[in-house]
A and B are shown apart, each in its own frame.
Chain A
């Protein structure tokens, strides 16, 4: 009965490789997000999708490309991985977009720990 799930939980890979992280939510929410948590635990929004449409795209390298096949899934593909991409990536979802300004709660997945060697 996991609300927001991510796979894989751990990902160890070499520099230059391409990898994907998958996220699924079974809450019936309209909006999904990707966050990056760095080694100092700082959390920063990367992308947000509302009903499969991109609504937030923060300053993120073009090597990162989100894809939303349907509103329950938001995957993150990373090309040409670099050492600095090592971090924990969190997926989250909310009933409606936080940008609507109604104080929506975001529900987080367990995270994917990416280590680039």
Chain B
């Protein structure tokens, strides 16, 4: 069975500071990993995903994530936070043979001036 753990339901940073959102997964086979962002009262938008190949994945809006198999992690980072980054972020996993995406419980990113 696959599962996702996102550490921290809320993360607060100052504008311009580093953003780090943590995601650990459990999967019986090499997984496919996703980060989605949800702005208030909107649907989910894909930030980036890892399927195969390079383990450092770059996404939209300056975000990137690194797949670390040994740590079963896929943490999301951004060097410098912007006020517009304030949103809910979801990590998700899908592995071959499993039916669909399994989401983590989400991390709310708060950005202060």
A residues at B contact (CB < 8 Å): 4, 33, 40-45, 48, 55-56, 90, 92, 98-99, 101-111
Q: Is the CB of B103 within 8 A of A110?
A: no
Query: What CA separation (Å) do A106 and B88 show in the bound complex?
Result: 17
Q: Which residues of B contact A41 (CB under 8 A)?
A: 38, 88, 105-106
Number of A-B contacts (CB under 8 A): 65
Q: Is the CB of A40 within 8 A of B105?
A: yes
5 closest Cβ contacts across the A-B interface?
A101-B96, A103-B51, A103-B32, A108-B43, A108-B44
Query: What CA separation (Å) do A92 and B45 show in the bound complex?
Result: 11
B residues at A contact (CB < 8 Å): 32, 34, 36, 38, 41-46, 49-52, 88, 90, 94-101, 103, 105-106
Q: Is the CB of A98 within 8 A of B99?
A: yes
Q: Is the CB of B100 within 8 A of A108?
A: no
Query: What CA separation (Å) do A110 and B43 show in the bound complex?
Result: 4
Q: What are 29 A-B residue pairs whose CB atoms fall within 8 Å in the complex?
A: A41-B88, A42-B103, A42-B105, A42-B106, A43-B44, A43-B90, A44-B103, A45-B100, A48-B100, A55-B99, A56-B100, A98-B94, A98-B100, A99-B97, A101-B95, A101-B98, A103-B32, A103-B49, A103-B50, A103-B51, A103-B52, A103-B94, A104-B94, A105-B49, A108-B43, A108-B45, A110-B43, A111-B41, A111-B43
Q: Which residues of A contact B90 (CB under 8 A)?
A: 43
Query: What CA separation (Å) do A109 and B46 show in the bound complex?
Result: 12
Q: Is the CB of B98 within 8 A of A99?
A: yes
A109-B43 in contact given A40-B105, A98-B99 (Cβ < 8 Å)? yes
Q: Which residues of A contact B36 (CB under 8 A)?
A: 108
Query: What CA separation (Å) do A101 and B106 show in the bound complex?
Result: 23
Query: What CA separation (Å) do A40 and B41 show in the bound complex?
Result: 14
